[in-house]
Amino acid sequence: MADERAKRNEADRRRAPRFNISMPVTVTDPATGRTYPATVDNISLGGVLLLIDTKLESGTRLFINLPIADDMTMRIEVSLVRRTNVGEFGVAFVSLTDGELDRLADFFEMRSTGVD
């Protein structure tokens, strides 16, 4: 029952609207402690399309440091779910609390309307 609910929630988030928000972020690999510069190409409540110059393997767990306000950066755990040969990496959010989802939704709305 819980597995079915998790799959349904994941499918719902995958269908979530994507926002074409381009912004610099950093990505940290907790296994190595290395931090890499990256660029968000688009984002949704399910995940992010990142542009990174570093080769990473599918399934890798990372943390994205996403600046959502002048005084706030969210550190979000993600899992690398797909990659291309041109440095595009699709990552899915591993787990977000309801409060984190609300903060992300507010951030998307603010960025899409141009309000700071």
**Residues 64/25, Cβ–Cβ less than 8 Å:** yes
What percentage of the chain exceeds 70 in pLDDT? 84
Alpha carbon distance 9, 69 (integer Å): 27
pLDDT recorded at residue 2: 46
Q: Is the pLDDT of residue 15 over 90?
A: no
- Name 92's bridge partners: 47, 79
Whichever domain contains 16, its CATH number is 2.40.10.220
pTM of the model: 0.77
Domain that holds residue 7: 2-113
Which of 40-54, 64-78, 80-94, 100-114 is least confident?
Answer: 100-114
- Give me the number of domains the chain comprises: 1
Tell me, what's the pLDDT at 14?
52
- At 80, the pLDDT band (50, 70, 90 cuts) reads very high
Point out which residues pair with 28 in neighbouring strands. Answer: 35, 63
What is the band of 17 on the pLDDT scale with cuts at 50, 70, 90?
A: confident
